[in-house]
Amino acid sequence: MTELLPLIPESWDVKKPLIIAGPCSAETEEQVISTAKDLAANGIKIFRAGIWKPRTKPGGFEGIGEEGLAWLMRVKEETGMKTATEVATHAHVEAAAKADVDMFWIGARTSANPFMMQEIADAIQAVGAQDKPVLVKNPVNPDLELWIGALLRLYNAGVRHLGAIHRGFSAYGKHLYRNLPQWRIPIELRRRYPNLPIISDPSHMGGKRELVGPLSQMALDMGFDGLIIESHCDPDCAWSDKGQQVSPDVLNFILSTLVMRNENVTTENLTLLRQEIDRLDNEIIETLAKRMEVSRDIGQYKKEHHMPILQAQRYDTILSSRVKLAQEMGIGGEFMRIVYSAIHEESVRQQIDVFNQHN
Ligand code: PEP
Ligand code: MN
């Protein structure tokens, strides 16, 4: 993906950060038009609405289908907003392109499936819709290569206005979030493709209204390029995802509270703080090296006294006391557990090394 164009064509007159808003699903003509008018009055330039809905189980509202495309055309005519919808099959692409929907997005269940991605990419090429911007949601499972693969299929089909959406990843069991954000995955995507815009979907990530604001701020703090947020004129009565949709007024309020970060400002203070981080990192590495030295000494002692390397109880004590201490100091317990398992693993490796030395 070396020749990407800006996600949003200049002629669209859309400012940064990019904000896309609209209902989870187009339900009725009235709901679509009323939501769109309120959003447009609040300055939103791109309207989202699902026409075909991928539902986990049959029996839910599976989208209004092609009938809703005419409503999106009305949104364009009456508000001047651009429109976006999810496409998952050749037929969707054909119908959405015919109705001149301005932008497509690929859902998380679709980007996980290379057959479907290829079908969509081929369809975009076949109907000549390569000039439309396309956003690809992360696959439901945390697999960066699959996400990149989906983007590459579109790129190879000639799509150049490409972007990615981080909407979080499925996890089994109950969690605070509907789909767990795993920021290191989009951050790695950014490292590999610095020119690929990435926006965040706090609605599907949080699954709850009250999480939309905090998750949006987190995304902006991390330098993401925009947000796609579900907004419905009457969220409590929405036919899908009602717990996470906010009214256009609430959306306006949320957006007004967000602090936009400016990447181009690097102040003197930041330079000093970064030097401090470099210094602390050196200290961490030096301390770890000293710790490993002591581990090797212990290894030598165990070897001389014919003791085994692994002493499970000692490891348990280390782990729980370090996790507790870290938590008292405001560091996440789970994080510390991961750090200490890694340190312990390296200590064991160092001791095995001592055991294997012939002296
Ligand atoms: C959606 O955006 O309405 C949607 C179905 O999202 P996802 O693919 O992220 O579940
Ligand atoms: Mn939804």
Q: What number is the average pLDDT over the span 210-234?
A: 96
Say yes or no: CB of residue 168 within 6 Å of ligand 1: no
Report the residue among 167, 215, 230 best suited for mutation to probe ligand 1: largest number of ligand atoms under 8 A from its CB.
167
Say yes or no: CB of residue 137 within 6 Å of ligand 1: yes
Q: Which ligand is nearest to the CA of 56?
A: 1
Backbone angles phi, psi at 108, to 5 degrees: -65, -30
* pLDDT score of 273 more than 80: no
Task: Residue count of the chain, please give it.
Answer: 359
Backbone angles phi, psi at 159, to 5 degrees: -75, 130
Q: Whole-angstrom Cα distance, residue 217 to residue 227? A: 10
Q: What percent of the chain has pLDDT over 90?
A: 85
> Which residue's alpha carbon is at the smallest distance from atom 1 of ligand 1?
24
Q: Which atom of ligand 1 lies closest to the CA of 167?
A: 9
Q: How far is the CA of 242 from the centre of ligand 2 (A)?
A: 8
25 CB-near residues (< 8 Å, 6+ apart): 49, 50, 51, 53, 61, 63, 64, 238, 239, 240, 241
* pLDDT score of 60 more than 70: yes
Q: What number is the average pLDDT over the span 93-108?
A: 98
Residues paired with 279 in a beta bridge: none
* pLDDT score of 253 more than 70: yes
Q: How far is the CA of 248 from the centre of ligand 2 (A)?
A: 16
Say yes or no: CB of residue 107 within 6 Å of ligand 1: yes
Query: Looking at residue 271, what is its pLDDT?
Result: 78
Say yes or no: CB of residue 50 within 6 Å of ligand 1: yes
Least reliable range by pLDDT among 15-19, 55-59, 237-241: 55-59
Q: How far is the CA of 354 from the centre of ligand 2 (A)?
A: 56
* pLDDT score of 2 more than 80: yes
Q: What number is the average pLDDT over the span 86-99?
A: 98
Least reliable range by pLDDT among 33-47, 241-255, 277-291: 277-291
User: pLDDT band for position 265 (50/70/90)?
Assistant: low
User: Per the structure block, which two tokens stand in for 319?
Assistant: 């782990």
174 CB-near residues (< 8 Å, 6+ apart): none
User: pLDDT band for position 279 (50/70/90)?
Assistant: confident
* pLDDT score of 81 more than 90: yes
On whether the CB atoms of residues 53 and 25 are closer than 8 A, the answer is yes
Q: How far is the CA of 193 from the centre of ligand 2 (A)?
A: 27
Q: How far is the CA of 25 from the centre of ligand 2 (A)?
A: 7
User: pLDDT band for position 206 (50/70/90)?
Assistant: very high
Q: What percent of the chain has pLDDT over 70?
A: 98
Instruction: Please give the single-letter amino acid code of residue 322.
Output: R
Q: What number is the average pLDDT over the span 234-255?
A: 98
Query: Looking at residue 313, what is its pLDDT?
Result: 87
Query: Looking at residue 359, what is its pLDDT?
Result: 67
Q: What number is the average pLDDT over the span 65-84?
A: 98
Q: How far is the CA of 20 from the centre of ligand 1 (A)?
A: 13
Query: Looking at residue 260, what is its pLDDT?
Result: 85
Q: How far is the CA of 156 from the centre of ligand 2 (A)?
A: 28
* pLDDT score of 269 more than 80: no
* pLDDT score of 261 more than 80: no
* pLDDT score of 274 more than 90: no
3-state secondary structure the chain: CCCCCCCCCHHHCCCCCEEEEECCECCCHHHHHHHHHHHHHCCCCEEECECCCCCCCCCCCCCCCCHHHHHHHHHHHHHCCEEEEECCCHHHHHHHHHCCCCEEEECHHHHCCHHHHHHHHHHHHHCCCCCCCEEEECCCCCCHHHHHHHHHHHHHCCCCCEEEEECCECCCCCCCCCCECCCHHHHHHHHHCCCCCEEECHHHHHCCHHHHHHHHHHHHHCCCCEEEEEECCCHHHCCCCHHHCECHHHHHHHHHHCCCCCCCCCCHHHHHHHHHHHHHHHHHHHHHHHHHHHHHHHHHHHHHCCCCCCCHHHHHHHHHHHHHHHHHCCCCHHHHHHHHHHHHHHHHHHHHHHHHCCC
Say yes or no: CB of residue 39 within 6 Å of ligand 1: no
Q: Which ligand is nearest to the CA of 232?
A: 2
Q: Which atom of ligand 1 lies closest to the CA of 50?
A: 3
Say yes or no: CB of residue 22 within 6 Å of ligand 1: no
Instruction: Please give the single-letter amino acid code of residue 50.
Output: G
